[in-house]
Chain A
């Protein structure tokens, strides 16, 4: 099982989707899982390809490509104090933003499988209800521990 760097922050003040994606992806940089340029590439990916990564009501999954500066397998989450719009017809507004990075196109497959499973079980609401930083961090560590 690949080691996963996780990070999380609740109650982030973000004025728009760019700030929200920046906050989530910056956590990967701060945790040593990505180079600083990864943050801009996550924003650029939404700009270039559209808001399809708003994968469920209120939930976005930001990422860029391995060659954009992902140095370790990492997954982060922020919850937003005020929801923001990504421009998705059905799933806006968004108040939970995940970011992930993978050093290649394979290592993250199990991690996203675990994330999908936990999302199905209500992870987004668990994060929204989490009381403090330690609790959101613990929830993300649980996702990483669930990787098969």
Chain B
């Protein structure tokens, strides 16, 4: 099962792919760890993200709007350093996708 044996492919996106997205990657790695979901989180810029086929896309709302439907789970993150808020946002969609056991 993805999230257990096989890690989820997660993209943290931002405009350039070397600043904000790295901050978000750190927070996301810890959020997934806390949730007990295996995930490989990569920081990337918008154009690279568009050619990828990830399981989860995370980014500011102004960016994730462009990715609706590009991944099973797309989440708009407002605060890139708030792990608890990100965990709350991830739980429902991950469970729905079958990647989080209740």
Contacts and interface: CB of A to CB of B under 8 A. Distances in A.
B15 A102 contact: no
Contacts of B18: 63, 65, 102, 105, 108
Contact of B63 (A48, A52, A55): A52
B26 interface: yes
Nearest to A90: B78
B82 A52 contact: no
A34 interface: no
Interface residues of B, number: 22
B54 interface: no
A49 B78 contact: no
A88 B63 CA distance: 12
A42 to B, nearest CB: 10
Contact of B16 (A45, A51, A56, A57): A45
A9 B46 CA distance: 32
A89 B23 contact: no
A49 B81 contact: no
A120 B62 contact: no
> Could you say which interface size class chain A belongs to?
20 to 34
A131 interface: no
A100 B78 contact: no
Interface string A31-67: 0000000000000010011111101110101011100
B86 to A, nearest CB: 11
Contacts of A63: 16, 18-19
**B contacts with A: majority SS:** mixed
Interface in A115-134: 115-117, 119-120
A49 B16 contact: yes
Contacts of A50: 15, 62
A112 interface: yes
Contacts of B14: 52-53
A107 to B, nearest CB: 10
Nearest to A66: B18
A105 B21 CA distance: 13
Nearest to A112: B22
A115 B81 CA distance: 10
10 contacts: A45-B15, A49-B16, A52-B20, A55-B79, A56-B80, A61-B20, A65-B18, A90-B61, A109-B22, A116-B27
